[in-house]
Amino acid sequence: MKFQTTSYHFDLLKDTDRVSAFFEAINDYSKKTDLAYDLGCGSGVLSYFLNKKFNEIISIEIDSKASECASLNLNEFENIEVINCDVLEYDFTKKADLIVCEMLDTALIDEEEVQVLNHARKFLKEDGEIIPKAIINIAELVNMQRHYVHWDEDAAYEILSDSVDYSKIVFKDKINPDFEKNIEFNVNKSGIANGIKITSVTILNDEIVCGPTPMFNPPLLVPIDEMNVKCNDLINVKLKYIMGQGIETIETQIL
């Protein structure tokens, strides 16, 4: 099937690791199949995967051009309704067996995954499921060339510490978007530390884990005050941000 897409969603579809991970997670779903919500459906590819499993699929997309593409791509399926609307303003009337929400980004800082699921979760049945299931955030102390917040695509940096799993967000739980954590890094290489690298790993279900891909949560580099570090030093950094409110909310402090 050929999909009509926006240029952004075309790049998403070219990321075969991302697309295949969601396809496998949806294909593995084997519980009740009355209703599924696809929140932030984009061009509709995940709704297309859901089509053969569910009696009814409600696919919501805020972007008018992407929603138009999804309507065209999915118009032959009578069990799929595409709605051009902000999920936070949508009047939910039914409880779903499954919510698919792929508004993901590194540490959930830039996209509205947390806000959307906090709003929509009450319309999930008690035994319902969410795809993806959770996200794990990992931090490393680094020396980086660019002293501002940026993604690591073509960026030069050197890792100076062991990695730290600093948070796990489970999407069926109520999530506080105001994040704050003191992270202790064990230095394994002497040098000048001036940043931390954040990597997010997505748990789609109990069997499928997807790490960063070209269009799926690329690692994020965040500056800290420059300091000399030596092997076996323990460096504590306070990391703060508001999930869903953008990278400009990120704050760091060496403790």
pLDDT in tens, 156-215: 999 999 999 999 999 999 999 999 999 999 999 999 999 999 999 999 999 999 988 766
* 156 CB burial (10 A radius; 0-12, 13-18, 19+): exposed
Which pLDDT score, from 0 to 100, does residue 6 have? Answer: 77
Please state the pTM of the whole predicted model: 0.93
Q: What share of the chain is helix, strand, coil (3-state, %, to 5)?
A: 25, 40, 35
The rounded percent of the chain whose pLDDT value lies above 90 is 86
Determine the pLDDT at residue 208: 95
pLDDT tens-digit readout, 226-240? 999 999 999 999 999
- Cβ-contact 139, 239 below 8 angstroms: yes
Confidence of residue 35 (pLDDT cuts 50, 70, 90): very high
Mean of per-residue pLDDT scores for the chain? 94
Set out the domains of the chain in order of their start, with CATH numbers. 7-102 (3.40.50.150), 136-254 (2.70.160.11)
- For residue 250, give both structure tokens: 């990120």
More confident position, 101 or 15: 101
- Tokens 């030093």 belong to 233
